[in-house]
Amino acid sequence: MHLGRSIALLIGASVLVSACSTTSAPPATDTISSPAGAVTPSALPAAGSPSARAKLSAADLQGRWWTWAASSVSASNPVSDQDGHLCAQGQVGGIWFLAGTFGGTVTRSCTVPAAVPVAFPLVNLVGEAGDCTAFMTSAQGSAVLDGQALEAERYEATAVQVSAVDGNPLTQGGGRFRTQACGLWVQLEPLAPGSHTLSIRGSSGSFAVSVDYKLQVSAG
């Protein structure tokens, strides 16, 4: 996860990006310039319904993810999680988000509910359109699920809204922000019950993220 210049250089992963050094919180109406991901939550289809299987749009996916990532303070934020015990933090149902890091390598164990789609970034950013243009020029990454390579979607600068709580490590300030988001993203159908391994790698420029997940999907 990566954040743009107007707030801080946040990199990390999911490839999520983020390396967290922040400035003063911007007003709720200001544009955020930094990489990461989450949007204003809106009602998602009930898990298991036909519409729940449809992929989210670039704007909806990134907005929701960034809102999720910015919905927890530093001490309980899933992007800062070192072992996976915060996987369920802030999850609201309908889709299960996975996080990257603020840079570096981590291994996480995570229990995922059955019949719920899973989504995550390989590397991502929020900021101004120009920040996204520069970021995506060198953005690259890969994801491997149970030994099978996954195809990632490339999203250039996309207008999103992000809702954040005070004290979160992504924006620092709380409120609702309009900004641009971009990155490399994967959306998965619900995983089969049982154990799975997921490796996420992503980078842009000198920023790199490496996350290995051990996922346990409940039987229902």
pLDDT tops 80 at residue 21: no
Instruction: Say what the pLDDT of residue 40 is.
Output: 27
Give the percent of the chain with pLDDT over 70: 75
Cα distance between residue 1 and residue 211, in whole Å:
12
State pTM to two decimals. 0.79
Instruction: Say what the pLDDT of residue 54 is.
Output: 80
Instruction: Say what the pLDDT of residue 171 is.
Output: 83
Pick the more confident residue, 107 or 10. Answer: 107
Pick the more confident residue, 165 or 1. Answer: 165
Sequence spans of domains, the chain: 2-217
Taking only Cα atoms into account, the Rg of the chain, rounded to an integer number of angstroms, comes to 15
Instruction: Say what the pLDDT of residue 218 is.
Output: 85
CA 75 to chain CA centroid, Å, is 17
DSSP assignment of 175-199 equals EEEEEEEEEEEEEEPPPPSEEEEEE
Instruction: Say what the pLDDT of residue 219 is.
Output: 78
CA 106 to chain CA centroid, Å, is 15
In whole angstroms, how far apart are CA 175 and each of 18, 28, 91, 172? 20, 5, 19, 10
Instruction: Say what the pLDDT of residue 143 is.
Output: 98
- What's the rounded mean pLDDT across residues 172-194? 94
pLDDT band at 153 (very low <50, low <70, confident <90, very high): very high
